[in-house]
Amino acid sequence: MDKVTLQPIGIIHTPYKTDENAPRQAANSHDIGEVVVNPELAEGLEGIEKFQYLILIFNFHLAPVPEKPKVLSWRDGVKRGVFATRSPHRPNPLGLSVVKLLRRDGSRLFVEGVDMLDGTPLLDIKPYYSDLDCVEKWQ
């Protein structure tokens, strides 16, 4: 299989310097963060203001890649396959968080609900559509 290479499109600034003080999930956070998109991609933000929520896809750049495909679940302390958890310790350390868009200032987005560490590389932004992205009553 061919190798996949991703380039950051920006950086995410948050109040969290270590994973010990960061929330486990974005839904548990009301803290404000700043998403800075690379200037050459700022035009790609056109129209984003019409969305209340965004999906940020990012790199868990400080999380070590696990040596084995099982990790300890923070929810119940049971070892599970990494793909059955939300652990940042993954073969491809990608994170996904839904955040509330507060405002845009040029290539900067101010968002509420950050759960990633300060300086996290941003890989993509997608608008959140409640009719497409919300699956009711699923585990």
Q: What is the pLDDT of residues 30-73, one digit of tens each?
A: 789 999 999 999 999 999 999 999 999 999 887 777 677 887 77
Cα separation, 128 vs 64, in Å, equals 29
Per-residue pLDDT at 46:
98
Token representation of residue 132: 């497409």
Per-residue pLDDT at 108:
98
DSSP class of residue 46 equals T
Per-residue pLDDT at 39:
97
pTM: 0.85
Per-residue pLDDT at 27:
61
Asked if pLDDT for residue 138 goes beyond 70, the answer is: no
Cα separation, 109 vs 36, in Å, equals 6
Q: Are strands 53-59 and 94-105 parallel, antiparallel or unpaired?
A: antiparallel
Query: Is 122 or 115 the better-scoring residue by pLDDT?
Result: 122
Percent composition of the chain: helix, strand, coil (DSSP 3-state, to 5): 15, 35, 50
Cα separation, 93 vs 117, in Å, equals 14
Per-residue pLDDT at 126:
98
Query: Is 135 or 121 the better-scoring residue by pLDDT?
Result: 121
pLDDT tens readout for residues 2-30? 999 999 999 999 988 877 676 566 566 67
Domains of the chain by range and CATH?
10-130 (2.40.30.70)
pLDDT tens readout for residues 84-117? 887 777 788 899 999 999 999 999 999 999 989 9
Contact 28, 115 (CB under 8 A): yes
Query: Is 42 or 80 the better-scoring residue by pLDDT?
Result: 42
Contact 37, 44 (CB under 8 A): yes
Per-residue pLDDT at 78:
86
Find the length of the chain. 139
Q: What are phi and psi of 137, to 5 degrees?
A: 60, 30
